[in-house]
Copies of this chain bind each other. A is one copy, B any other.
């Protein structure tokens, strides 16, 4: 089953109405590897359902964030971007060339869940950003 359909079910089960606009926004995030600004989401959603309004995109992004489906983040350039939450969403960001590497490591989720539990929290999702320098940039650095 596709991600979009799953999410539509989730919305329905939570009692939200499934409108063309919401479907359009959701379908933008069918690919898992996107980090989009609100205006980019708007543009892409309009390709699917040209009538969507800006307000609705913001409302939907907020809704999806509240449901733990998306997560807003600032990847170092001051712009807020939305990305799907996979439990969890872990980035390495190179502070020099800005490339973003996605990490998927179970140890991480396990450790976080445990630490959250120790504090009485029940984890819904988590996002980590690690800022550093990638190998290529370090090598360029030392050469110059």
> Closest CB-CB distance, A14 to chain B, in whole Å?
14
Question: What number of copies of this chain does the assembly contain?
Answer: 2
Chain B proximity mask over A111-138: 1 for CB below 8 Å, otherwise 0: 1100110011111111111111111001
* A interface residues, tally (CB under 8 Å): 44
Closest to A38 in B: B78
Q: Is A35 engaged at the interface, CB distance under 8 Å to the other chain?
A: no
Q: Are A133 and B128 in contact (CB under 8 A)?
A: no
**Nearest chain B residue, comparing its CB with the CB of A66:** B95
A window 70-102: CB within 8 A of B: 71-74, 76, 78, 80, 85, 88, 90, 92, 94-95, 101
- Bound-state CA distance A72–B72 (Å) is 12
